């Protein structure tokens, strides 16, 4: 392997999705990391804890001595083997620890002793995280954003992904942004969400051109909070309103929240258990907005949902779902959306269906 120098070119790392090996302990990695990284720790959580105690009590030299005692023999050999496997799979990659200090240099030295030269990221996780925080602020202040708005079920995400330069906030948060928006896989940590957003904005700035399209989101997307400086910009940006007839919106909601979610649960848990879990998801989603719907309306929707679920399970009929979807759209989501949009009317620069908006963007 040709020797490559260590790097502090964080922009290049993130723009090009360079694979990186994070040698911090798992607990550190879970709190915050970057896309296209894997955790191959020098020390596990318990080993790190013990070394940390020794460091506080007796200093660095004693801590290093304990670390070498804990990570030795077969344990050391197994970890070196994992590191070398990563270097072979990703010859263009790098390794890093928290500050680009002792752990990354130790890892680098140990694999060098196994005849593998592999570079590290100077400054480590802390410097890269600082870089992304600073760049997020720059992206928020300097870029031209256009917000895609529209009633629930108009297909805003579908439209977003057909624009020439977009950042998918809901995709980054792994949540659709409503009471029904929870996905089967967990949302990222807040730090991971912020890191991912900053990286996508870097790509929008440096690799593409023109306005950056985003969806109209509230402060929270599930449990992930949109960073304040980015939200401050999005709440004053121009708005493009996507329109669609009610029947089309009902069918989009049916596809996204009934058909797709049924399939996802059944693929994960099997036909019977998956349908049970899907049913719980659907009923619980309505229960989350009971305070706004009122008890009587919630009970009515639950009854309609249960009847629709029974029909879906017995004969795979989906038509009954359309009744509760129509009520939820017209009685809950539409009035709420119309009120919110009325306060933003001066920011609207275009309205239309998906085809007309895409045509307008092309002529822009």
- Under DSSP, the state recorded for 227 is P
Task: Give the separation between CA 11 and CA 144, rounded to whole angstroms.
Answer: 21
Residue 12 neighbours by CB distance under 10 Å: 10
Contact residues for 191 (Cβ-Cβ < 8 A; gap 6+): 31, 32, 129
Give burial (CB, 10 Å; 0-12/13-18/19+) of 128. buried
User: Which position among 51, 97, 169, 309 bears the catalytic label?
Assistant: 97
Q: Positive or negative, the Cα torsion across 338, 340, 343, 347?
A: negative
Sign of CA dihedral 94, 96, 99, 105: negative
What DSSP string describes 167-225? --HHHHHTB-SSTT-B-SSPPPPHHHHHHHHHHHHHHHHHT--SPEEEE---SEETTEE
What's the rounded Cα separation, in Å, for the pair 218 and 81?
Answer: 46
Tell me whether residue 115 is one of the annotated catalytic residues: no
Is residue 116 left, alpha or beta, with left meaning phi > 0 and alpha meaning psi from -120 to 50? Answer: beta
Cα 178 from Cα 217, distance rounded (Å): 10
- The whole-angstrom separation of Cα 251 and Cα 65 is 64
DSSP assignments along 68-83, one per residue: HHHS-HHHHHHHHHHH
Strands 145-150 and 37-39 turn out to be: unpaired
Supply 332's token pair: 């809950």
DSSP class of residue 347 equals G
Instruction: Give the residue numbers annotated as catalytic, written as ranges.
Output: 97
């Amino acid at each position: 392997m040709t020797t490559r120098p260590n790097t502090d070119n964080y922009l290049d790392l993130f723009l090009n999705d360079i694979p990186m090996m994070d040698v911090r302990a798992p607990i550190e990695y879970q709190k915050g990391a970057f896309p296209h990284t894997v955790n191959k720790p020098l020390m596990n959580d318990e080993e790190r804890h013990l070394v940390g105690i020794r460091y506080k009590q007796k200093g660095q030299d004693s801590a290093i001595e304990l670390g070498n005692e804990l990570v030795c023999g077969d344990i050391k050999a197994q970890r070196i083997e994992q590191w070398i496997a990563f270097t072979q799979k990703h010859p263009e990659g790098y390794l890093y620890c928290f500050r680009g200090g002792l752990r990354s240099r130790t890892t680098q030295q140990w694999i060098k002793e196994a005849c593998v030269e592999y570079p590290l990221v100077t400054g480590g996780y802390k410097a890269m995280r600082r870089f992304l925080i600073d760049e997020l602020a720059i992206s928020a202040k300097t870029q031209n954003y256009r917000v895609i708005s529209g009633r629930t079920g108009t297909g805003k995400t579908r439209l977003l992904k057909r624009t020439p330069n977009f950042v998918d906030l809901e995709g980054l948060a792994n949540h659709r942004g409503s009471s029904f928006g929870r996905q089967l896989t967990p949302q990222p940590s807040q730090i991971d969400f912020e890191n991912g957003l900053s990286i996508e904005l870097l790509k929008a700035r440096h690799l593409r051109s023109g306005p950056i399209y985003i969806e109209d989101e509230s402060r929270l997307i599930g449990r992930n909070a949109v960073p304040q400086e980015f939200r401050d910009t999005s709440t004053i940006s121009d708005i493009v309103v996507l329109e669609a007839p009610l029947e089309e919106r009902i069918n989009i909601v049916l596809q996204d929240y009934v058909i797709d979610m049924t399939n996802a649960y059944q693929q994960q848990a099997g036909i019977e258990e998956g349908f049970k879990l899907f049913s719980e998801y659907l009923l619980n989603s309505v229960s989350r907005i009971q305070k706004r719907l009122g008890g009587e309306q919630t009970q009515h929707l639950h009854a309609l949902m249960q009847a629709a679920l029974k029909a879906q399970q017995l004969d795979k009929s989906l038509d009954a779902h359309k009744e509760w979807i129509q009520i939820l759209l017209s009685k809950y989501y539409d009035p709420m959306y119309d009120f919110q949009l009325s306060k933003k009317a001066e920011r609207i620069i275009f309205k239309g269906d998906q085809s007309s908006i895409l045509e307008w963007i092309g002529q822009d």
